[in-house]
Amino acid sequence: MERPSRQRQREQESETETEADELIACPECESTDIVTDADQGELVCDDCGLVLDERQIDRGPEWRAFNHSERQSKSRVGAPITETMHDRGLTTTIDWKDKDAYGRSLSSEKRSQMHRLRKWQERIRTKDAGERNLQFALSEIDRMASALGVPRSVREVASVIYRRALNEDLIRGRSIEGVATSALYAACRQEGIPRSLDEVAEVSRVPQKEIGRTYRYISQELGLELKPVDPKQFVPRFASALGLSEEVQAKATEIIDVSAEQGLLSGKSPTGFAAAAIYAASLLCNEKKTQREVADVAQVTEVTIRNRYQEQIEAMGFR
């Protein structure tokens, strides 16, 4: 066992070497603007052109690729670990193409053998009921995320939230679909993706009231720090669906900012507030849309738009 002082001395030496590598200076012109020429394997001063080092080790792949398909075909590593699969994507998957390594079709005997292998592979991927339930929940998250059109990062965050709820035993007494939907809604809010509870409930198989109740429970138990939804996040999507210009979007954002400064946003639905701002902005910019058109896109009632519209117009100083 080494003494602590010797170990500390070695750590200091390695830190000194690292700092020295980072602060390389040209011995000719004393410039620190050093660039690496990956093609030639050289370290070159960008000011005077002096070659400081040559025959550097290339730590990249030995093959070259000029597009995504070439890179995919030449790469010899598997897909990265993902939380959206119950086994994190680490198990073997048998392809359904029924072709060998050379692209030739398999014989009927080999096809039946591969069919049996696939069937048993699917069975042994989930060893117990808990893993089967996790697989079902993650597939539900993936289905709903696809229907909502949210990016891959939201699916990963939703899967992590669901796994945390599972480890904390928060699913007991609640439906798997309800917790999965709540995890997806929480992930949308955490990643700043504007999706309302009504939109999430549309693609889910559970009632909206259950989603809201489960969401509040898991966010409180897991300590999720979720900020209130900003109505401005809904403006670009609603305006695009209505075919409105960027001028209307800018005006709607301004209306929301002025109204929020006067405290009108507190306790109001963000989708209704954004819809009313878009309606008011369309009138001010001479791109009139009816309250019914805006309400259909925002999935709110015309009464909500009228009420919020009156408040926002007064806040802006118009009568």
Q: How many domains does the chain have?
A: 3
Give the per-residue pLDDT at 40.
72
CATH, residue 183? 1.10.472.10
Residue ranges for the chain with pLDDT beneath 70 = 1-23, 38-39, 58-60, 62, 76, 78, 319
Specify the pLDDT at position 4.
44
Tell me, what's the pLDDT at 274?
Answer: 92
Would you state the pLDDT for residue 23?
66
Residues forming the annotated binding site?
26, 29, 45, 48
Bridge partner list, 42: 37
Q: Are residues 267 and 304 in the same domain?
A: yes
In a domain, 205, yes or no: yes
pLDDT at position 1 is 42
Q: Is residue 178, in this structure, part of any structural domain at all?
A: yes
Among candidates 258, 201, 256, which has minimal Cα distance to 228?
Answer: 256
Look up tokens 């000194």; give the residue: 16
Q: What is the CATH number of the domain that holds 34?
A: 2.20.25.10
Same domain, 297 and 256: yes
The verdict on 267 and 211 lying in the same domain is no
SS (H, E, C) the chain: CCCHHHHHHHHHHHHHHHHHHHCCCCCCCCCCCEEEECCCCEEEECCCCCEEECCCCCCCCCCCCCCHHHHHHHCCCCCCCCCCCCCCCCCCCCCCCCECCCCCECCHHHHHHHHHHHHHHHHHCCCCHHHHHHHHHHHHHHHHHHHHCCCHHHHHHHHHHHHHHHHCCCCCCCCHHHHHHHHHHHHHHHCCCCCCHHHHHHHCCCCHHHHHHHHHHHHHHHCCCCCCCCHHHCHHHHHHHHCCCHHHHHHHHHHHHHHHHCCCCCCCCHHHHHHHHHHHHHHHCCCCCCHHHHHHHHCCCHHHHHHHHHHHHHHHCCC
Whether residues 267 and 192 share a domain: the answer is no
**pLDDT recorded at residue 22:** 53
| Domain match, 218 and 235 both | no
In terms of residue numbers, what domain contains 269? 231-316
Q: Answer yes or no: do 216 and 134 share one domain.
A: yes
Same domain? For 213 and 237 the reply is: no
Binding residues for Zn(2+): 26, 29, 45, 48
At 137 the pLDDT is: 92
Domain shared by 241 and 178, yes or no: no
- 30 in any annotated domain: yes
